[in-house]
Homo-oligomer: A and B are copies of this chain.
Amino acid sequence: MTLDWYEHLKKDFVQGFPAFCGFEVARVDHGVFETRLEVGEKHRQQDGFVHAGVLATMADHTAGYASFTTVSEKFRILTVEFKINYFKPAVGPLIFCRSRVVNNGRTLKVTESEIFSVADGIEKLVSKGMFTQIAVAAESLNAPPSSPGGRAAD
């Protein structure tokens, strides 16, 4: 059952914007999600570093799925807010993200993501963020667009 849920999340992770960015799932466990990215030209900013937005997206999405491992399919995880620090420029060629739920509240969850730039097999911690998420009833998000239902900070 749990393994089925993890397998489902592995596939669910890769769609829409995260699929477009090229993030891949590396590992899943209870309250833990790990992902990777092979850096291409499209991920860079004006100075040649991986764009802060790529790292923020990876950190946010991986953190969201770390929280998904702690709920059933009756819930959806939405980001309430996050904060992220950039320590060093990330140049790749590989980026690794490890997310971990640090406070598993019933409704509000707090998750941390650490991002590593990997070159020649050496990991360097380049960024770290803290994320507040809300678990909402999946059915509240299935309402037709004209009646969006209760949402995040709504």
Verify B82–A83 contact, CB threshold 8 A.
yes
**From B16, B41, B45, B125, contact of A46 by CB (8 A):** B16
Interface size on A, residues (CB 8 A): 58
* Given A41-B16, A42-B17, A46-B15: A103 touches B85 (CB 8 Å cut-off): yes
**From B44, B141, B153, contact of A103 by CB (8 A):** B153
- A26 vs B96: C-alpha distance when bound (angstroms): 34
A contact face: mostly helix, strand, loop, or mixed: mixed
- A76 vs B46: C-alpha distance when bound (angstroms): 9
Give the Cβ gap from A27 to chain B, nearest Cβ, in Å. 20
- Indicate the member of A18, A52, A105, A151 with the most B CB atoms within 10 Å: A52
**From B56, B145, B152, contact of A108 by CB (8 A):** B152
Q: What are 16 inter-chain pairs, A to B, with CB distance below 8 A?
A: A12-B46, A15-B45, A17-B43, A17-B53, A51-B61, A52-B60, A53-B56, A53-B61, A81-B83, A85-B153, A87-B152, A88-B154, A105-B152, A110-B153, A132-B132, A132-B153
